């Protein structure tokens, strides 16, 4: 069973299973985020629901961190072995029908990782220095009936995404994530041996379609914020 | 027709290599790529220069000996054929053709375009066989084999072990070769007793030889002269997963002739 962590095929199993878990999170996160369009009440209630259950919140967070750690570990171990397997490069190399996404998985993955760190500092840890607005997201709360307060996520998102640099990085990173998934979502089935000539082509097409849907779903919020802000300032 | 040939020259595994450019003499466009190299070599020999070393044997696409990466693609521009079946009519008069050896750590260069592919033999020795005698061809229907399995086993058995999959893969991975060999025997009744032991042993040897892993780019399948499908890699991964779940055989204390 140690072969799961020592063999190339075993490491691909680890990569595929952790990738699948992270993919499910990415889908859930988008669906949750899209409540932005239902207004402040719906979004803030959802955010409060997630954050108030501390035990489950940390279970989910630790679970995700373990998934990320295993995904990154298997990727870096395999990438090192892959690089070592061809010490002398071709002078004249052609991709030979390898897609752009499949050839750039390591690079898209690294940029996505940098974005995840920024994104956590930005909206989860709420470090004021990285949001470029000069305001502290921690202080944004709304008062409910009966003196209790909850975090005003809606306001935070509007303010956060109104920074073009922040939104730009977000859109770029989400674009790369979707490029990563346009290959990864079908490749994980291949790695786990769950692919054949019958449904393989559908998996390939589904992965591309899912990537496009995720991209549109994710960029909808920053694009909407930027368009509204722009509509406000330029007549 | 005449072409310009940019070829990798390397004296042996330990000396550095470089590209050297040659002008070909007049060629017949119906020569095979290897015949073109023969003609160029003849001229080099006449001039007293060292001919270009390249691998070749059957010259009819079934032995898997010829190699070469021609203009960035193993076995040249066409699909489903080997270098020996590539003809000069595939190129235009005056073209520059870049010819390189297969590049992988597990395939060290012996000389010029000749690489050592014994790593494939060692993978085969690790498990690509059936240990007991399977006898001569069995009578029809004596051993039932589903038609679709027979077809798939035949597809996998097409692999000639040329190494183009390794040459084309950005990770120099040998998965398509190993998958073909694992699936070919794993799909047939005679291969069942050692099916899971085989996949484990062959993957272990593949890793030891220093081949890379699979990123599912599909370039192996695209350049394979026998058009072995990427689906066989999924099949190998599946068998490998099952072999991990089965674990090592239980140790038996006592009994038997010890």
Task: Determine the distance in angstroms separating the CA of A10 from the nearest CA of chain B, rounded to an integer.
Answer: 8
Kindly state whether residues B43 and B127 are assigned to the same domain.
Answer: no
Name the domain count of chain B: 2
Residues B101 and B135 in one domain: no
Say whether both B128 and B99 belong to one domain.
no
DSSP assignment, residue B212? Answer: B
Binary contact (B203, A7; C-beta < 8 A): yes
Question: What is the distance in angstroms between the Cα of A71 and the nearest Cα belonging to chain B?
Answer: 14
**Mean pLDDT, residues A84-113:** 94
- Quick check: A3 and B217 CB within 8 A? no
Find how far residue B47's CA is from the centre of its chain. Answer: 34
Q: Report all structural domains of chain A as residue ranges with CATH numbers, in order of start.
A: 3-85+103-233 (1.20.1300)
Of A3, A78, A193, the CB nearest to B234: A193
Q: What is the dihedral angle through the alpha carbons of B242, B247, B248, B253, rounded to the nearest 10 degrees?
A: -130
B73 and B89 co-located in one domain: yes
| Residue for token pair 């991975």 | B173
- Å from A189 to nearest chain B CA? 8
Residue A195's DSSP bridge partners are none
Transcribe A9-33 into DSSP letters.
Answer: HHHHHHHHHHHHHHHHHHHHHHHHH
Question: Residue A146: pLDDT above 80?
Answer: no
Does A11 sit within 8 Å of B213, measured CB to CB?
yes
* Residue A93: predicted pLDDT: 87
Q: Are B67 and B88 contained in the same domain?
A: yes
Q: Using CB atoms, which residue from B73, B105, B216 is nearest to A96? A: B73
Does B258 have pLDDT greater than 60?
no
Q: Would the CB atoms of B100 and A91 count as touching at under 8 Å?
A: yes
Distance (Å, whole) CA B151 – CA B166: 25
Q: Is B256 a domain residue?
A: no
Q: Residue B254: pLDDT above 80?
A: no
> B258 lies in a domain?
no
pLDDT digits 0-9 by tens, B226-239 = 999 999 999 999 99
CA gap B9, B18 in Å, rounded: 6
What is residue A232's predicted lDDT score, i.e. its pLDDT? 52
The pLDDT of A96-123, averaged and rounded, is 95
Q: Does B180 touch chain A (CB under 8 A)?
A: no
Contacts of B75 (CB under 8 A, 6+ apart): B66, B67, B68, B81, B82, B83, B86, B162, B164, B223, B225
Residue-wise pLDDT for B83-113, tens only, equals: 999 999 999 999 999 999 999 999 999 999 9
- B11 shares its domain with B75: yes
- Among residues B56, B88, B110, the one where a domain terminates is B110
Q: For residues B122 and B141, state if they share a domain.
A: yes
Domain closes at, from B92, B110, B128: B110
Assigned domain for B255 exists: no
Q: How many CB atoms lie within 10 A of CB B40?
A: 20
Let me know if residue B253 belongs to a domain: no
pLDDT of A231 strictly over 70: no
| pLDDT tens digit sequence for B176-203 | 999 999 999 999 999 999 999 999 999 9
- pLDDT on residue A186: 96
User: Could you give the CA distance from residue A182 to residue A78 in angstroms, rounded to a whole number?
Assistant: 20
- Residue B92 counted as domain residue: yes
Shared-domain flag, residues B126 and B79: no
- Give the C-alpha separation, B38 to B36, whole Å: 5
Identify the residue with better confidence: A139 or B56.
Answer: B56
pLDDT of B174 above 80: yes
Last residue of a domain, one of B110, B141, B164: B110
The percent of residues in chain A predicted with pLDDT above 70, rounded, is 97
Is B122 inside a domain boundary? Answer: yes
Q: Which residue of B has its CA nearest to A99?
A: B217
Going by pLDDT thresholds of 50, 70 and 90, the confidence category of residue A147 is confident
**pLDDT at site A131:** 85
> Side-chain half-sphere of A135: how many Cα atoms within 13 Å?
15
Closest residue in A to B7 (Cα) is A91
> B195 to chain A, minimum CA–CA distance in Å?
16
Are B177 and B239 found together in one domain? yes
CATH of the domain at B42: 3.10.20.30
Encode pLDDT of B57-86 as tens digits.
Answer: 999 999 999 999 999 999 999 999 999 999
Distance spanning both ends of chain B, measured CA to CA: 72
Q: What digits encode the pLDDT tens for the residues A33-70?
A: 999 999 999 999 999 999 998 999 999 999 999 999 99
Q: Look at the block and give the residue holding tokens 């085969």.
A: B124
Q: For A8, name the nearest residue in chain B, comparing CA atoms only.
A: B213
Residue B255 pLDDT: 65
Q: Is B200 in Cβ contact with A99 (below 8 Å)?
A: no
pLDDT tens track for B114-127: 999 999 999 999 99
Residue A136: its pLDDT value, please?
87
Pairing of strands B4-9, B96-100: parallel
- pLDDT of residue A234 exceeding 70, the answer is no
Model pLDDT, residue A181? 97
**A185-209 pLDDT per residue, tens:** 999 999 999 999 999 999 999 999 9
pLDDT at B250: 83
* pLDDT at residue B152 is higher than 90: yes
Q: Is B78 on the interface with A (CB under 8 A)?
A: no
Cα B166 to Cα B106: distance, rounded to the nearest angstrom? 9
Percentage of chain B beyond pLDDT 90 is: 93
B203 in contact with chain A, both atoms CB, cutoff 8 A: yes
CA nearest neighbour of B197 among B157, B150, B161, B244: B244
Shared domain for B153 and B61, answered yes or no, is no
Instruction: Determine, yes or no, domain membership for B79.
Output: yes
Residues B94 and B127 in one domain: no
B190 neighbors B130 (Cβ within 8 angstroms): yes
Closest-CA residue of B relative to A201 is B231
> Residue B211 and residue B91: Cα distance in Å, rounded?
32
pLDDT in tens, B9-47: 999 989 999 999 999 999 999 999 999 999 999 999 999
Q: How far is B41 from B66, CA to CA, in rounded Å?
A: 16
Co-location of B96 and B163 in the same domain = no
List the domain range (segments joined by +) for residue B101.
4-110
Residue pointed to by tokens 């005449």: B2
Q: According to the model, what pLDDT value does residue B37 have?
A: 97
> Which positions ≥6 away from B82 have C-beta within 8 Å?
B61, B64, B66, B75, B160, B162, B164, B225
- B254 located within any domain: no
Cα angle at A186 between A183 and A189, to 5 degrees?
A: 135
- Rounded to 5 degrees, what are φ and ψ at B255? 70, 165
Return the number of other C-beta atoms located less than 10 Å from residue A27's C-beta.
14
Beta pairing partners, B87? B32
pLDDT, residue B64, reads 95
Q: What is the CATH number of the domain that holds B206?
A: 1.10.1060.10
Average pLDDT over residues A157-182: 95
Q: What pLDDT, on a 0 to 100 scale, did the predictor assign at position A235?
A: 42
The C-alpha of B105 sits at a distance from chain A's nearest C-alpha, in angstroms, of 5
B interface mutation test: which of A12, A16, A86, A104 has the most B CBs within 10 A?
Answer: A86
Q: How far apart are the C-alpha atoms of A100 and A182, rounded to whole Å?
A: 10
Of the candidates B37, B29, B31, the one whose C-alpha atom is nearest the C-alpha of residue B8 is: B37
- Mean pLDDT, chain B, as a whole number? 95
């Amino acid at each position: 069973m140690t072969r799961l962590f020592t063999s190339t095929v075993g490491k691909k199993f680890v990569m595929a299973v952790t990738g699948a878990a992270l993919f499910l999170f990415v889908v859930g996160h988008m669906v949750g985020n899209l409540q932005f369009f239902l207004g402040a009440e719906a979004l803030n209630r959802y955010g409060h629901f997630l954050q108030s259950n501390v035990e489950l919140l940390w279970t989910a967070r630790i679970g995700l961190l373990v998934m990320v750690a295993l995904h990154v570990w298997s990727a870096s171990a395999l990438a090192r072995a892959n690089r070592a397997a061809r010490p002398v490069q071709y002078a004249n190399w052609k991709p030979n029908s390898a897609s752009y996404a499949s050839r750039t998985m390591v690079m898209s993955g690294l940029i996505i990782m940098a974005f995840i760190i920024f994104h956590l500092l930005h909206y989860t840890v709420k470090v004021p220095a990285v949001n470029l607005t000069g305001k502290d997201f921690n202080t944004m709360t709304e008062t409910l009936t009966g003196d209790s307060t909850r975090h005003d996520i809606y306001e935070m998102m509007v303010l956060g995404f109104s920074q073009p640099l922040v939104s730009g990085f977000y859109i770029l990173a989400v674009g790369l994530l979707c490029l990563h998934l346009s290959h990864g979502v079908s490749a994980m089935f291949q790695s786990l041996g769950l692919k054949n000539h019958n449904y393989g082509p559908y998996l390939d097409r589904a992965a591309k379609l899912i990537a496009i849907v995720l991209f549109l779903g994710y960029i909808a919020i920053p694009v909407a914020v930027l368009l509204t802000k722009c509509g406000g300032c330029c007549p | 027709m005449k072409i310009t040939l940019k070829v990798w020259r390397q004296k042996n595994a330990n000396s550095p290599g470089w590209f050297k450019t040659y002008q070909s003499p007049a060629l017949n466009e119906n020569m095979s790529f290897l015949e073109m190299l023969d003609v160029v070599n003849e001229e080099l020999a006449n001039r007293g220069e060292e001919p270009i070393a390249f691998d070749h044997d059957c010259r009819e696409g079934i032995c898997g000996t010829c190699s070469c990466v021609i203009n960035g693609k193993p076995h040249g521009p066409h699909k489903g054929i080997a270098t020996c079946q590539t003809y000069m009519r595939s190129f235009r008069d005056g073209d520059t053709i870049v010819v390189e050896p297969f590049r992988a750590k597990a395939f060290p260069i012996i000389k010029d375009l000749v690489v050592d592919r014994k790593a494939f033999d060692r993978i085969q020795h690790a498990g690509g066989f059936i240990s007991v005698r399977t006898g001569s061809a069995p009578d029809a229907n004596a051993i039932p084999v589903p038609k679709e399995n027979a077809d798939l086993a035949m597809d996998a058995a097409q692999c000639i072990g040329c190494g183009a999959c390794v040459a084309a893969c950005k990770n120099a991975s040998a998965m398509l070769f190993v998958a073909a060999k694992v699936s070919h025997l794993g799909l047939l009744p005679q291969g069942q007793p050692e099916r899971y032991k085989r996949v484990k042993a062959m993957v272990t040897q593949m890793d030891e030889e220093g081949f890379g892993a699979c990123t599912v780019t599909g370039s192996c399948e695209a350049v394979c002269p026998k058009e072995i499908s990427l689906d066989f890699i999924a099949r190998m991964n599946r068998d490998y997963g099952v072999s991990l779940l089965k674990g090592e055989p239980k140790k038996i204390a006592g009994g038997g002739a010890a």
